[in-house]
Amino acid sequence: MNTVLKQQPVDDVVIRSLEDKDFKAFLALSTIMHRESEYRNLSFSEQRVKQFFELHLTDPAYAGWVVEVEGNLVAGFLAQYNHISQFSDDRVAFENGFFVHPAYRCQGIAGQLFTVYEQWAKENGCRYTYCSVTTEVDEKKTVARLEKFGYQRCGTLLKKAF
């Protein structure tokens, strides 16, 4: 059985769009995410994180949000891109980076981030939002939480190492 911990809201949470000044904190969060996740088996590149970050600032098909708690950018981020479907003129959004710092999990932050993501997608004409769970960090809890937000399984992601 998938058990989801009861959320305890964090006081003074602000979710806002990424800004240039956020890179240092974004890099720190990305470093933690890399270290605790399945991605630790891949190399880590600060330059690649910087490129990923800048893409979400400069390309209108990309967007990203960060979480401040009590004025400090410490809690997490969500990044996404959207595009027109290969089969139609419908636009869809894909989460391509989501992380909540371990100290801030199960406190309602993920739900707030996804609410912002979904609102942005609606405002930008997207028919669907997609997300994937690829970090292998608390996978069952994460999937249960996303299903609680209304997401449904719609495929399987597989990998093969070389």
Q: What CATH number does residue 45 fall under?
A: 3.40.630.30
2 lies in some domain: no
127 lies in some domain: yes
Range list of H helices, the chain: 23-36, 46-58, 109-123, 139-148
Q: Distance between CA atoms of 117 and 159, rounded to whole angstroms?
A: 26
The pLDDT, as a whole number, for residue 10 is: 60
In total, how many domains does the chain have? 1
Pair 64, 17: CB distance under 8 Å: yes
Determine the distance from the C-alpha atom of residue 15 to the mean position of all C-alpha atoms in its chain, rounded to a whole number: 12
The pLDDT, as a whole number, for residue 43 is: 95
45 lies in some domain: yes
Q: What is the pTM of this model?
A: 0.84
- The parts of the chain modelled with pLDDT lower than 50 are 1-7
26 lies in some domain: yes
Residue 17 belongs to domain spanning: 13-148
